[in-house]
Amino acid sequence: MRVFSEFAPDANRGDPYLRDEQLARIRANLSDAGATIAVASAKGGVGKSVIAVNVAAALALRGNKVAIIDADLNSPSVVAMLGMKQPRGFPLTEGIEPAAGPHGLRVVSSHLLTDRETPAFSFVDPDGGDGPAQAPANPIMETRESAAFYKMLAQSRLGAVNFVIIDLAPGIEDLHAINSMAQPDGIVMVTHPSAHAVQATQQAVRMIRRAKAPVLGVIENMAGFNCDGCRSVRPLMPEGELAGVASDLELPVIGRLPFDPRLAEASDRGKLFVHEYADTPIAKSLTEIAARVEKLVEAARQRP
């Protein structure tokens, strides 16, 4: 597990004034963004991050200024998927300037917050050590991941962008956290066709809707296997569950992406699939998803 140290030496998450101050700073940081979109999944292993990164890139390739925030503080992957070098130190108490990623993406990630001398994060020895393996200069304080995310968002200088894409950690807690702290313009859920993943997505959507969060729709990843030899898409796992759930929830299916090994391979190499394989059906589908997200955000804003 990770132990998150304070980003500022005088911070105290038990102080409600500081929490209110952080919320005000988060809202101010996002005020210049045209739209804030959270990409979420009820379960891990559905390919959420690779979709978030490629949709963000597709939005940028459509002429938008885009920032992407890796909100999975325990298992950040966005920096590696973008092929960016890290680590890199920031003056954490003075504000975090996003790093420059490919296609003009502005990137904030815990991977980019570390410094060899005074790390923002330290690690507990999983084999039973008595404390952090490396002690930072500031006092260590164990916090919930969402509390550390508050600090990261409060200090990030995102600037004037058309879209902020927030890649959330899997599960329900971060959905509630991002809704309370950032009030996103939309939430996009990612699932794969298995009944367990779809049912978990259904429960997550119902729960977050109770908090009046705007769920734009769902993306079904691994919807079949892209078979080049047979020139068809064949089932990868039992299908059909999502259609009924989406209809019941009146939830748009923004896109369906068949499994293609090249998507994972490009991600492992730090290459963007929408750029590296721009002429493939999946890359075109990712670009269409980006366009639909733009339209859904605009439609949501026009509702009374």
User: For 244-267, what is each residue's pLDDT tens digit?
Assistant: 888 889 999 999 998 888 999 999
Return the higher-pLDDT residue of 178 and 241: 178
pLDDT at 17 over 70: no
Residue 199 confidence (pLDDT) above 50: yes
pLDDT at residue 117, rounded to an integer: 43
Q: Say if CB 8 and CB 147 are below 8 A apart.
A: no
8 A C-beta contact, residue 7 and residue 120: yes
- Identify which of 87-96, 104-113, 123-132, 259-268 has the greatest average pLDDT: 259-268
166 DSSP β-pair partners: 38, 69
Which pLDDT score, from 0 to 100, does residue 172 have?
A: 86
Q: Is 40 left (phi over 0), alpha (psi -120 to 50) or beta?
A: beta
Report the C-alpha gap between 205 and 211 in whole angstroms.
10
Per-residue model confidence (pLDDT) at position 302:
77
- What pLDDT, in 10s, does the model give residues 202-227? 999 999 999 999 999 999 998 877 66
C-alpha distance from residue 21 to each of 11, 25, 27, 48, 92 (Å): 11, 6, 10, 31, 16
> 156 near 10, Cβ under 8 Å?
no
What pLDDT band is residue 281 in, cutting at 50, 70 and 90?
confident
**pLDDT score, position 239:** 64
Q: What is the CA radius of gyration of the chain?
A: 19
The domain 36-115+162-302 is placed in CATH, from the list 3.40.50.300, 3.40.50.2300, 3.40.50.9100, 3.40.50.1100, at 3.40.50.300
What does the alpha-carbon distance between residue 16 and residue 188 come to, in Å, rounded to a whole number? 30
Residues in CB range of 77: below 8 A, 6 or more apart: 49, 70
* Residue range 118-124: mean pLDDT, rounded: 41
Which 8-state DSSP code applies to residue 91?
A: -
Query: Between 90 and 185, where is the model more confident?
Result: 185
SS3 content of the chain, % helix, strand, coil (to 5): 40, 20, 40
pLDDT classification of 112: cutoffs 50, 70, 90: confident
Q: Is 148 in contact with 88 (CB distance < 8 Å)?
A: no
pLDDT of residue 260: 85
Q: Residues 157, 29: contact at Cβ < 8 Å?
A: yes
Is the Cβ–Cβ distance between 5 and 141 less than 8 Å?
A: yes
Residue type, 286: L
Strand partners, 4: 121
- Statement: residue 200 has pLDDT above 60: yes
Cβ-based neighbours of 51, under 8 Å, separated by 6 or more: 39, 190, 219, 221, 257, 286, 289
Q: Which two tokens stand for residue 3?
A: 């132990």
Q: Which amino acid is at 116?
A: R
* Overall average pLDDT of the 74-96 stretch: 74
Q: How far, in Å, CA of 35 to CA of 25, rounded? A: 17
Q: Report, as an integer, the average pLDDT of 231-241.
A: 61
Structure tokens at 198: 């779809």
> Alpha-carbon torsion 170, 268, 276, 229, what sign?
negative
